[in-house]
Copies of this chain bind each other. A is one copy, B any other.
């Protein structure tokens, strides 16, 4: 079993082993009942003492994650969670470099009637007719678009248009500074595989986006989570933390942050950029939601203040237009961008040209009007959800209403039993995102994320009412 150990980390080696195994188990990468390597075997392969491995196993056993018995060895405990696929004998011993996969575990509940876990927008709110008509016209008039490998960097016409789109939002870049990716997820992945390696320090907000954490974990990064308050990431604390461990990369979602909903203040944005410059490191600004404000526009993007290419800016159009088209735009400069394009080539030889061209006319002609209507619709949803929360949420449950975006971040009285609540909800065909997957370690979280825009309005209201009743019974 391959585990990236960082001997200069603040975390002890037993802690690191324990956390990685715990993440593998909760991600379903180690199936229930699977036998763990022997203490001796793991100690040899990780080049640590047997005492170190024993300590890690003892802690996992104490938490009930594994069961150990003298002479037989240690096994992953059986829980009510979904079973992952078992492999032939030799397969379980075949090492991988995949320490965690919480997206895989927590994203796909296509069977669930009330999918609150997914931060997405219901199809009736999306401009599918327009994009569909464009696509139908393209395949009829230019079928050769389906025959062409796209440019690795992304279609030139789409990038030209995106450049204008970003300029209207204060980001003065040309088409040559942009790259098209299959969603922002791929953008984050490309940055990580290109610039982050074992032991590199990556700072993120606490909590942060599960998909980014999965990716950085897969690169063996040392992830450090920076506390937030109502103005976003505590850049003052980050500054002190960087004194101890200089950053290789900082990942932030400054506007209507996923999952907390918090927006970073202008002052902090400036300070954060200054910090990245002073350390000559990259700052990844993930911005799926800035157009989705409910009352006043958020502060300008950090990228709009970037003068020397420290910010890699990710603008997803997937969520807002058509998730199935998987179109996002990455803005970066110089050889930071050219190296990302090189990585994109090895990753999938470029995104499909057709889907790129299919969203182009809509973004260039209709986007601003559309997004204004979408904002109103989403605010309506959020207000409905807020009303239900006020009415039905049991005492001890707290939340701050978001100023934009797609989700609510609920604080429960205790982290205890969130897993059990998740199972109970699933039985009533309700899903939510447990907060602990928004951290890299395995500290239990008392938060959960609920998305109010993924169902039609009636289902959302019905589902939320059901869930809040369940929550009341559960807490009682």
Contacts and interface: CB of A to CB of B under 8 A. Distances in A.
A195 interface: yes
Contacts of A341: 104
A110 B101 CA distance: 38
Interface string A213-247: 01100110000000000000000000000000000
Given A309-B91, A352-B352, A98 B146 contact: no
A343 to B, nearest CB: 6
A107 to B, nearest CB: 7
B104 A324 contact: no
B95 A195 contact: yes
B140 A132 contact: yes
Contacts of A189: 346-348
Looking at A118, A120, A135, A341, the one whose CB has the most chain B CB atoms below 10 A away is A135
A20 interface: no
A371 interface: no
A322 B144 CA distance: 9
A407 to B, nearest CB: 16
A158 to B, nearest CB: 14
A336 interface: yes
A144 B120 CA distance: 13
Contacts of A121: 147
B150 A347 contact: no
Interface in A52-101: 84-88, 90-98, 101
B29 A339 contact: yes
Contacts of A148: 123, 323-324
A346 B128 contact: no
Contact of A151 (B108, B152, B282): B108
A155 to B, nearest CB: 11
Interface in A114-151: 118, 120-123, 126, 128-129, 131-133, 135-136, 139-140, 143-151
Given A146-B132, A333-B87, A194 B349 contact: no
B101 A345 contact: yes
A14 interface: no
Nearest to A282: B94
A392 to B, nearest CB: 29
Contacts of A94: 195, 280-282, 336
Given A97-B193, A152-B107, A334-B86, A346 B214 contact: yes
A157 to B, nearest CB: 13
Interface string A24-48: 0001110100000000000000000
Looking at A2, A140, A211, A326, the one whose CB has the most chain B CB atoms below 10 A away is A326
A325 interface: yes
Given A98-B343, A135-B136, A136-B140, A349 B107 contact: yes
A352 B326 contact: yes
B182 A145 contact: no
Contact of A337 (B29, B85, B92, B93): B85
B146 A325 contact: yes
B139 A346 contact: no
A275 to B, nearest CB: 14
B338 A84 contact: yes
B322 A147 contact: yes
Contacts of A401: none
Contacts of A400: none
B195 A97 contact: yes
A96 to B, nearest CB: 5
Given A107-B349, A146-B324, A334 B135 contact: no
A258 interface: no
Contact of A280 (B90, B97, B108, B132): B90
11 contacts: A87-B334, A91-B334, A96-B195, A103-B346, A104-B342, A131-B146, A132-B143, A133-B139, A136-B140, A149-B323, A352-B355
Interchain residue pairs A-B with the least CB separation, the first 10: A87-B334, A87-B335, A132-B139, A101-B342, A123-B147, A128-B143, A136-B136, A85-B338, A104-B345, A104-B342
